[in-house]
Chain A
């Protein structure tokens, strides 16, 4: 065993980290998040140029990375900067598309170069965290398909140029069989998008599909067989947000520790109080636990137990992430309750990640169902 990254991957991590540190101060981040699109096209193309999007995809998909560790190191650094650009949306949709036909796959080049924004429109108002829940329907027509239904909390769905929409071609609402994916230009007639900000400054959309007509060539993979494709995409997405949470947790702890050393009450730095020291010790311990869980998840991504390790990481991130987020605020006192100070924004992101791809309890149940691995 060797817990060091390869030299190349370490360079990727360092480069991403440097870019985020230098180009993404928190004030700028807030400005970007509050802008019309909720992210910066300019920074997005710079990030593409640096290869940060390509790092998320394997060579056969036009990228130059795509392993669990590539995804993890990039997202950890993005988490450190609370980066709002559409990395996650690109990873989710791009992964799905890489299982498509040649012409669909060629679109990935534009995703990797930052020109095209894709979003995966899969979740629905009633699906909660159930991956197979698809009420949206795809009905066969003469020329292709007609889509009807509602998609919920679609990450960057408001600005995406193209959407990958899941819809049911047969079976019951929660069946794993009978789901199809369609690549649809976002301005297609019958698509109505309502964008909103999230409480932590990211963007999502509610998307209504009403008699949306698409051609046969819009189908990604085999109609009815999309579940496995979606599953892979969500597993990668889950790994990504776990690593992102790790990055945000690192900064939350650094800010808190720094504050413990500088904030004085009762004539001493508050870090002198053992009541706070012990809790910081717990936070640091949990951070290392999360780091290990992310390593486990990334390293097992191509192996049979991947689901177990990814659920384990997500459970831990939800559980200990909440602890760290809440303690970060508490141990700062009032200052962390303000918009102006960064700590609260990190806390928000860490907690909101619990609501993506299944929360603490969802993944605890997954682990219970999957049984133990060695």
Chain B
């Protein structure tokens, strides 16, 4: 056991810091820190910068052009990225589809899609959930029927994050109604420009458009877009869920959240003194920091065990629960730090071009919206109830 960073690790951190110093455009960092809405172009710009530096795929295995970063390196990068105010990488291509293609895709698929994920040619979205298939994903109904060298897709996906920007969607579809539900599911790649694909917006409770319904009516997809074998899609989807452990805890984002909260608490006054000095408030803040420091280590322990080949266990579920609930608590205390200024909300002020006086302190406007928006994190990616079910099943021997 040694909690000190090695000289090598420290050098790595310096390298990463320098990268953010030099390469992260100030305009983007400002937007992220002031929680303005990022446009598709903003995302693409940052994606390209990361790719050029080789950081986009640094966690990929070396055979696919990655750097096979270890747990410490990933943690450092995540933390520095968040402290610097780097946009979050849209995960669907780089972190979700890519590992599945590496493990189960044909070499043609790997050669074709992986470089396009990296250079940003294809923006991917995730088509798993359906109106009737949320937590019970295996009950999904959207069908893909084989006709010669094509599949014909019919059905509806929903909650598709950033589907309005996407070029491609990876879908779980039903290819068989025989046997167990899980055994009739396939994993298929669909060009969103194919006739019969229709994207309809869903507006979230704070008024943002980040998710969509995607409808499929007789959509003709070449058979070579199937990933792996027919009816094995469930295995691939589960592989992704248990293997994609990095980032699930959101350590860097939580650290940045606490920094932001401290900044607000130093600026806000209670009874003429900084809120940060108020014992009750300081106690609540201290509790969050205790939880976060332990979670950071839990996260590295889990990632390290994973990279040394330990089979995936329920720790991923623990990190999902702890990570999301801690982040939600930070958001909760942040809204409380604002006092009455948590109430007014000017939606247009989230746009970069907005140049009117803010209502209240300049950091106030997005705070409550963020608090409500972040309620999604304990619902998606396998709800926290589902995660608790997994822990119960795997750890309790009942």
State the A residues within 8 Å of B (CB). 123, 125-126, 128-130, 152-153, 173-174, 194, 196-200, 202, 204, 206, 264-267, 273, 275-276, 322, 326, 329-330, 333-334, 336-340, 344-345, 347-348, 351-352, 354-356, 359-361, 364-365
A329 touches B375 (CB 8 A): yes
Chain B residues, CB < 8 A from A200: 343
The answer to the question of B272 belonging to the interface, with a C-beta cut-off of 8 Å to chain A, is yes
Query: Contact: B205 with A339, CB < 8 Å?
Result: yes
Question: Complex Cα distance A165/B359, Å?
Answer: 19
Further pairs besides A129-B339, A330-B379, A344-B372: 18, Cβ < 8 Å: A123-B340, A128-B270, A152-B341, A194-B359, A197-B345, A198-B345, A199-B368, A199-B372, A202-B343, A264-B132, A266-B135, A329-B379, A334-B376, A338-B203, A347-B375, A348-B205, A359-B336, A361-B284
The segment from B63-71, B163-171, B243-251, B380-388 that touches chain A is B380-388
- Which residues of the partner chain A approach B159 to less than 8 Å between Cβ atoms? 334
Query: When the two chains form their complex, are residues B205 and A345 in contact, meaning their CB atoms are under 8 A apart?
Result: yes
* A326: B residues at CB distance < 8 A: 328, 375
Q: Which residues of B contact A152 (CB under 8 A)?
A: 340-341, 360
- B320-359 CB mask vs A (1 if < 8 Å, else 0) is 0000000010001001101111111110000000000001
Which residues does chain B contribute within 8 Å of A275, judged by CB atoms?
385, 388-389
From A128, A337, A345, give the contact of B269 (CB < 8 A): A128
Check: B313 CB closer than 8 A to any chain A CB: no
CB–CB A330/B136 < 8 A: no
Instruction: Knowing A152-B341, A197-B344, say if A265 contacts B134 (CB, 8 Å).
Output: yes
Q: Are the C-beta atoms of A153 and B344 separated by less than 8 Å?
A: yes
Q: Which residues of B contact A365 (CB under 8 A)?
A: 280
Q: Contact between A337 and B375 (Cβ–Cβ < 8 Å)?
A: yes
Which residue of the partner chain A has the closest CB to B159?
A: A334
Q: A128-B268, A339-B207 are in contact. Are A355 and B343 (CB under 8 A)?
A: yes
- A265 x B135 contact (CB < 8 A): yes
The residue that B135 contacts in the complex, of A333, A356, A359, with Cβ under 8 A, is A333
Contact of B204 among A123, A267, A338, A352 (CB under 8 A): A338
Give CA–CA (A338, B205) in the complex, Å.
5
Shortest C-beta distance, A75 to chain B (Å), equals: 18
A344-B205, A359-B339 known; A199 vs B375 contact (CB < 8 Å): no
Query: Contact at A153–B341, with CB atoms within 8 Å?
Result: yes
From A318, which residue of chain B is reached at the shortest CB distance? B336
Query: Could you list some 22 contacts between A and B, CB below 8 A?
Result: A128-B268, A129-B339, A173-B272, A194-B359, A196-B344, A199-B345, A202-B343, A204-B343, A206-B359, A206-B360, A266-B136, A267-B139, A276-B385, A326-B328, A330-B384, A337-B379, A339-B204, A344-B205, A347-B372, A348-B206, A351-B372, A355-B340
Instruction: Name which of B204, B205, B372, B379 has the most chain A CB atoms within 10 A of its CB.
Output: B205
Q: Which of B139, B270, B371, B379 contacts A333 (CB 8 A)?
A: B379
Residues of B within 8 A of A334 (CB): 129, 134, 158-159, 376, 379-380
Q: Which of B125-144 contact A (CB under 8 A)?
A: 129, 132, 134-136, 139
Complex interface: chain B residues within 8 A of A194 (CB): 359
Assess the A198–B134 pair: CB atoms within 8 A.
no
B264 in contact (CB, < 8 A) = no
Which A residues lie within 8 Å of B223 (CB)? none
Closest to A263 in B: B134
Interface centre among B129, B205, B340, B383 (most CB of A within 10 A): B340
Q: B271 interface residue, CB < 8 Å from A?
A: yes
A47 to B359, CA, bound (A): 31
- A206 surroundings in chain B (CB, below 8 A): 344, 359-360
Closest 6 pairs between A and B when the two form their complex, measured CB to CB: A344-B205, A199-B345, A265-B136, A339-B203, A128-B339, A198-B343
- For A265, list chain B residues within 8 Å (CB): 134-136, 139
User: How far, in Å, is A40 (CB) from chain B's closest CB?
Assistant: 21
Most chain B CB atoms below 10 A, which of A264, A265, A345 = A265
B228 to chain A, nearest CB (A): 26
Chain B positions within 8 Å of A, measured between CB atoms, are 129, 132, 134-136, 139, 158-159, 202-207, 268-272, 280-281, 284, 328, 332, 335-336, 338-346, 359-360, 368-369, 371-372, 375-376, 378-380, 383-385, 388-389
Q: In the complex, what's the smallest C-beta–C-beta distance from B302 to chain A, in angstroms? A: 24
Q: Which residues of A contact B371 (CB under 8 A)?
A: 351
Cβ-closest chain B residue relative to A336: B205
Q: Please give me the residue from chain B that is nearest to A206 by CB atom.
A: B359
| Nearest chain B CB to A304 CB, angstrom units | 25
Q: Which residue of B lies closest to A341 (CB)?
A: B205
A333 CB contacts on chain B under 8 angstroms? 134-135, 379, 383
A196 to B341, Cβ gap below 8 A? no
Contacts of A339 in B (CB 8 A): 203-205, 207
Q: How far is the CB of A92 from chain B (nearest CB, A)?
A: 14
Chain A residues, Cβ within 8 Å of B272: 173-174
A153 contacts across to B, CB distance below 8 A: 340-341, 343-344, 360
- Bound: A264/B206 CA distance, A: 26
- A352:B129 contact, CB within 8 angstroms: no
**In the complex, which residues of chain A have a beta carbon less than 8 angstroms from the beta carbon of B284?**
361
A77 to B34, CA, bound (A): 38
Distance from A33 Cβ to chain B, minimum over Cβ atoms (Å) = 12
The CA-CA distance from A348 to B368 in the complex, in Å, is 9
Question: Are the C-beta atoms of A354 and B339 separated by less than 8 Å?
Answer: no
B345 touches which of A173, A196, A266, A354 (Cβ 8 Å): A196
- Answer whether A364 and B280 are a contact pair too, CB < 8 Å, given A128-B339, A199-B206, A344-B205: yes
> CB distance A128 to B340 under 8 Å?
yes
Cβ distance B130 to chain A, nearest Cβ, rounded Å: 11
B356 shortest CB reach to chain A, Å: 9
How far is it, in angstroms, between the C-alpha of A16 and the C-alpha of B269 when the chains are bound? 40
Cβ-closest chain A residue relative to B342: A355
Closest to A328 in B: B375
* Chain B neighbourhood of A344, CB < 8 A: 205, 372
Tell whether A340 pairs with B344 under 8 Å between CB atoms, given A128-B339, A333-B383, A334-B379. no
Check B339 against A355 for contact (C-beta < 8 Å): yes
CA distance A365 to B135 in the complex (A): 42
Note all chain A residues with C-beta closer than 8 A to B385. 273, 275-276, 330
Which of A123, A348, A355 lies in contact with B372, CB distance below 8 A?
A: A348
Let me know if A130 and B136 touch, CB within 8 A.
no
- CB closest residue in chain A, given B270: A128
**Contact yes or no, B369 A199, CB < 8 A:** yes
Q: How far is the CA of A370 from the CA of B254 in the complex (A)?
A: 37
* Cα-based distance from A121 to B53 in the complex (angstroms): 55
Closest to B268 in A: A128
Question: Which chain A residue lies CB-closest to B369?
Answer: A199
Which residues of chain A come closer than 8 Å to B384, judged between CB atoms? 330
Smallest CB-CB separation from A200: which chain B residue? B343
Cα A10 to Cα B139 in complex, Å, equals 48
Known contacts: A153-B341, A329-B375, A345-B205. The answer to whether A360 contacts B336 by CB under 8 A is: yes
